[in-house]
Structure 1
Amino acid sequence: MSWKDAVQPALRMLLQPETRLDPHLEILRLGAEHEDIEARDIVVTLALGGALVTGTLVSTDTWGRLHLRQLGDHDDTLRRVARHAVGHLDEAAENGRRPREVDPRFLHLQDVTHRSGRATHTLPTWRGPISAISGWTLGEPEKN
């Protein structure tokens, strides 16, 4: 799906009175999902439950590939099972004549730094619910 194809559904979703989405964050999420607008290398810092999570926005597909690779690093059998399950979801979507839709409830990051109190941890990937984000900014905190 191109970005142009996503604009109208995105606007409808954002204009619904019951939606609690931040339109600016939703536009960034949509940009990461649609590679034709080149929303690459966008770094965000998210506030979640007193912690800061910083990383580069990626699409659901990119996160899925990275996730499967990480699973394989730990257990190749688990990776095969997960790939098989995702394949069934894709096949079921194709039989319905439309691709499996991206779940708009989640944001995906790679090259992540998680800061909580004085502790800092790095992670290869992160997937989190947008509803848990209490604040955000473009870029990352300066190192002190």
Structure 2
Amino acid sequence: MSAITDTSPAPSAAVITEPLPDLQLQLLIQLLDEDPRSSLPLTLTHPGGLLHGDVIGHEQWKAEWARSLRQVEGEGANLLAEFPETVDQGVRELRADEDAETRRLPRWIHLRDVTLVVGSMNPVSLPLWRGRLADVSGWALGRPQ
């Protein structure tokens, strides 16, 4: 009996793969990121159902998220107010080694005044929503009427 030995070199690092986001949607979000006051009505399809609201840039979403966290009461509330900026700082540090091409296009989409429609359930309203662009399977400008 003979044993087969694997002599191939071990991979130097794990490779993470994910579905590719829609390039046009990424570019639209990148454009919205240039003006923090801009927004655009958008309808998305994703694994959770149909979602519509105003797409906003990351900085605007972060400011509104921080504002909502400041309204939380109780112990630790002060820590929550700083959380959005703390997260961004951590992401910047992790991405410091990535090349400019990898960092340029957004990977997340942010919406305000959101309605989530799932099957025959009643629609759910949310003040803010953040989702991974790679999970968006379709989109259209505007909201359903």
- Sort the TM-score into its range (normalised by shorter chain): 0.5 to 0.7
TM-score after normalising by structure 2: 0.66
Contact 1:111/1:123 (8 A) holds in 2: yes
Tell me how many residue pairs correspond in the alignment. 118
Report the CA distance between 1:81 and its aligned residue.
Answer: 1.2
Report the CA distance between 1:87 and its aligned residue.
Answer: 4.8
Taking a change above 3 Å as real, the CA distance of residues 102 and 83 of structure 1, as seen in their structure-2 partners, is farther
* Residue matched to 2:134: 131
TM-score after normalising by structure 1: 0.66
Residue 74 of structure 1 aligns to a residue whose secondary structure is coil
CA distance in 2, matches of 1:116, 1:26: 25
Contact 2:26/2:105 (8 A) holds in 1: no
Whose helix fraction is larger, Structure 1's or Structure 2's? 1
Taking a change above 3 Å as real, the CA distance of residues 77 and 107 of structure 1, as seen in their structure-2 partners, is farther
Match of 2:143 among 137, 140, 144: 140
CA distance in 2, matches of 1:108, 1:91: 19
Contact 2:41/2:143 (8 A) holds in 1: yes
Q: Which runs of 5+ in 2 are unaligned?
A: 1-17, 97-102
Task: After superposition, give the CA deviation of every residue in 1:53-93 in whole Å (9 maximum; x if it has no partner).
Answer: 10111111111111122222233654521343525854996
CA distance in 2, matches of 1:43, 1:70: 22
CA distance in 2, matches of 1:77, 1:65: 22
Does residue 64 (structure 1) correspond to residue 33 (structure 2)? The answer is no
Q: Which runs of 5+ in 1 are unaligned?
A: 1-17
Larger relative CO (CA 8 A, sep 6+): 1 or 2? 2
CA distance in 1, matches of 2:139, 2:54: 13
Who wins on radius of gyration, i.e. which is larger? Answer: 2
Greater Cα offset, 20-29 or 126-135: 20-29
CA distance in 2, matches of 1:115, 1:48: 11
Report the CA distance between 1:104 and its aligned residue.
Answer: 2.0
* Residue matched to 2:116: 114
CA distance in 2, matches of 1:78, 1:64: 19
Report the CA distance between 1:110 and its aligned residue.
Answer: 0.5
Task: After superposition, give the CA deviation of every residue in 1:101-123 in whole Å (9 maximum; x if it has no partner).
Answer: 78821100101111111320111
Residue 35 of structure 1 aligns to a residue whose secondary structure is coil
Q: Tell me the C-alpha RMSD between the 2 structures.
A: 3.2
